Amino acid sequence: MSIRTATLNGVATIEIARPEKKNAITQAMYRSMADALDAAVADNAVRAVLLTGQPGIFTSGNDIEDFMQRPADGTESPAFGFMRSLIACDKPVVAAVTGAAIGIGTTLLLHCDFVYVSDEARLAMPFVSLGLVPEFGSSLIVPQLMGNARAAEKLLLGDPFTGADAVEAGIANAVLPAAEVVPHARRVAERFNGLPPGAVRETKRLMRRARNDSTFEAIGVEGGVFARRLRSPEAQEAFSAFFQKRKPDFSKF
């Protein structure tokens, strides 16, 4: 099983556990993560959600083989279902970024409430290098958070950035030594056991209200372009190059 879930002391933990593939997320894994989030929202005993990965790797993003073999189609895709559940989740979501967070690994952080990053972690949104485009609201939210100049480095060039950069941009709360990331994130999640759950949920809904309207609009537009780009010759070249462990050749396009 590559998604592990457990509920303990008011906290539902969703752990990405596919270290042999650097925690790349398959369609089945997105489905499990969406089910776990929906179950956490429905369970009165759960006061917060903790989302984490493995030591040294949060996630290497969408499984690139799935991108090649089973290109997603819009709002019915498992990734969309998971992100819809994440964005709609009105209980606090705390992310413990235990290592690299690539592609959707960084994108999903934009929709969590608290993000703690290990001092070795690198975040990256290398969609262009894969012949793709930003997804799930990142083309809107990243420029809003860090301004167009720094967003261009991350989204057009796909430059990786550190946890400290993520804190400065308002994506993350704090950078911590690797061994402290999960325990600290858990302590933050457990604080919600001492707070009135109704007020927490209503406050989160209010905080998200204005942004969610524009986010869902952006997600719809991005999703259409993304689905088309997945089938593009540029993307096919990038995916093949990844599995053949060579540099992609975009000179012919």
Q: Which residues bind ligand COA (CB under 6 A)?
A: 21-22, 24, 60-65, 100, 102-103, 126-127, 130
Residue among 64 and 182 whose Cβ is closer to ligand COA: 64
Please identify, using beta-carbon distances, which residue of 130 and 146 lies nearer to ligand COA. 130
> What is the nearest approach in angstroms of ligand COA to the Cβ of residue 187?
28
**Identity of the residue numbered 35:** D
Q: In terms of Cα–Cα distance, which of 211, 236, 226 is closest to 88?
A: 211
> Closest separation between CB of residue 68 and ligand COA, Å?
9
- Beta carbon nearer to ligand COA, 57 or 189: 57
User: Which residue in 79, 75, 74, 87 sits closest to 24, CA to CA?
Assistant: 79
CB of 19 to ligand COA, least distance (A): 9
Q: How far is the CB of 248 from ligand COA (least distance, A)?
A: 11
Residue nearest to ligand COA (CB): 103
Closer residue to ligand COA in complex, CB, 56/197? 56
